[in-house]
Amino acid sequence: MRGVCLLFALLIGTGSAGAQDYLNCQFTPGWEQTGPKRQYAADNLYEYKDGGAEGYLVYSFMHMQGIDCKRGEVTLSIDVSEMGDADMAYGMFAANRDPNLPIAKIGMGGQVMPQSLSFAKGKYFVEIVETDGNPSSNQTAALQAFAAKMEPRIEGRDTPPAALDWFLKDGLTSSRLVPESVLGLRLLKHGYLAKYKQGQAFIALEESPESAAEVMKKLREKFEGSTPAAVGDEAFQVKAPYLDGLCVFRKGRYLAGYANLPDPAEATTQSVKLAARIP
């Protein structure tokens, strides 16, 4: 029995070590850890991020592990945040990247700048930032070297959320995950929003077709004067305050549609095209 207990303890210890083996300053030559490793949870993240904690919590932040690595006068702060799921991790990355710079193929997506690098993989969001050193220095090589060692050690999906590919590409200017209140509607808890030269499209996720149908019912009741539309499993169109021409449809567990178009009929026409792209 004692041998079994020792084996069980060893397995637990190995799993814990494996979960943290992506935090190692010696991944690249010349770097050494300075200070202890840090850990934060949702209830104390404000101690580390101060006013920025809410920006993590809104993406279902669970906990963070981090270290500081130093070489000469330069210090790199490396933080790995575990979010609720892969979509939220990608949403966190997308919300913090510079939209004017390209996305690098690191995990689901990454971005490299002279003094910082970030990427998302699985349910993890990774940040590597120079905190000490010459403010005009270029640490690109070191940042990429750390990311190259860390990314394979982090478990999870390495492709962007599939829903982003469902949006029509013609006239698309941007797309992103909205962690809460899609279109400003609390009933649409979270999902994706695509902006076009004219109007915007959305795809909101529900747990099941049944829960999506219940939300659809509440939305129809919210928008007085709506009329049925022939899109997906069920749909309605309406002229709504602040949303102009609006069409909302349900397809399985997804609620989607178009808003801010000149009239509801045009929103419905675009929604038909979007529905055809949703599996």
Helix (H, G, I), strand (E, B) or coil at 217: helix
* Cα distances (Å, whole numbers) of residue 82 to 153, 209, 252: 14, 28, 29
Q: Which domains does the chain have, with CATH numbers?
A: 19-153 (3.40.1000), 163-277 (3.40.1000.20)
Q: Are 84 and 155 in contact (CB under 8 A)?
A: no
C-alpha gyration radius of the chain: 22
pLDDT by residue, tens only, the chain of 279 residues: 444 344 434 333 433 334 468 999 999 999 999 999 999 999 999 999 988 999 999 999 999 999 999 999 999 999 999 999 999 999 999 999 998 899 999 999 999 999 999 999 999 999 999 998 777 889 999 999 999 999 999 999 999 999 999 999 999 998 999 999 999 999 999 999 999 999 999 999 999 999 999 999 999 999 999 999 999 999 999 999 999 999 999 999 999 999 999 999 999 999 999 999 999
pLDDT at res. 20: 61
Q: Are 124 and 154 in contact (CB under 8 A)?
A: yes
User: Chain centroid to CA 226: how far?
Assistant: 33
The amino acid at 270: Q
In angstroms, rounded to a whole number, what is the distance separating the alpha carbons of residues 57 and 246? Answer: 30
3-state percent breakdown (helix, strand, coil) of the chain, nearest 5: 35, 30, 35
pTM: 0.82
